[in-house]
């Protein structure tokens, strides 16, 4: 199954108090542009899923990005994953959130390499303390797609709860790269990130 990168930027950014995807990144551009540029270095197809017109407009101006408007209801990443699996059957979806501004190429490459060893399995980033399931590779195989569709139809909306029914491979990655930023103290972002 081919690998496709899928960036999620449909959240409401309530804790941030403003649209985090459009915050300026220390490396230049916005968090959204930086995330898309980072995924582009994997040289795989990229899809942006977002409910925000400004995100879709920005992505549409970039090469090799497929922007998809996420329809209502907006009920979290599990529903977003379901929609992506329905759109891209029989592909491996590298799911990535827009709010990991310190994510770097080495971490993505390590995750992709681990997933390539077992293409039929779910592979999730792990920061040494806990899973970070919003950064992971999810195969859109028939069994997983059908189970997820049934779970969504049954009202499940928690990604962690759905994952509890499936074996997965935790992939240890640099914990700094996996840091979710949800407050306005953006100055913590480190500039000296590892390079490939």
> 79 and 159 in contact (C-beta within 8 Å)?
no
Q: Is the peptide bond before 182 cis (omega within 30 degrees of 0)?
A: no
pLDDT of residue 10: 74
Lowest mean pLDDT among 7-16, 48-57, 127-136: 7-16
> 1 and 139 in contact (C-beta within 8 Å)?
yes
CATH of 3-182, one of 3.90.1150.10, 3.30.70.20, 3.40.50.970, 3.90.550.10: 3.90.550.10
pLDDT of residue 112: 97
Residue-wise pLDDT for 146-162, tens only, equals 999 999 999 999 999 99
What is the C-alpha separation between 128 and 9, in angstroms, rounded? Answer: 25
Q: Where are the domains of the chain?
A: 3-182
pLDDT of residue 183: 60
| pLDDT range class, residue 18, cuts 50, 70, 90 | confident
Lowest mean pLDDT among 12-26, 54-68, 170-184: 12-26
Residue-wise pLDDT for 49-92, tens only, equals 999 999 999 999 988 899 999 999 999 999 999 999 999 999 99
């Amino acid at each position: 199954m081919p690998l496709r990168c899928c960036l999620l930027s449909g959240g409401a950014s309530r804790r941030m108090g403003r649209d985090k995807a459009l915050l300026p990144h220390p490396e230049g551009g916005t968090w959204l542009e930086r995330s898309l540029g980072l995924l582009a270095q994997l040289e795989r197809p990229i899809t942006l899923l977002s409910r925000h017109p400004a995100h879709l407009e920005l992505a549409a101006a970039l090469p090799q990005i497929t922007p998809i408007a996420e329809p209502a209801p907006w009920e979290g990443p599990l529903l977003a994953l379901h929609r992506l699996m329905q759109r891209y059957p029989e592909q491996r979806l590298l799911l990535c959130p827009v709010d990991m501004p310190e994510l770097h190429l080495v971490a993505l490459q390590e995750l992709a390499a681990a997933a390539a060893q077992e293409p039929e399995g779910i592979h999730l980033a792990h920061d040494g303390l806990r899973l970070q399931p919003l950064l992971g590779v999810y195969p859109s195989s028939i069994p997983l797609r059908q189970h997820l569709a049934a779970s969504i139809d049954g009202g499940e909306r928690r990604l962690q709860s759905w994952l509890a029914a499936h074996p997965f491979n935790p992939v240890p990655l640099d914990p700094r790269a996996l840091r979710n930023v949800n407050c306005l103290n953006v100055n913590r972002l480190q500039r000296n990130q590892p390079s490939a």
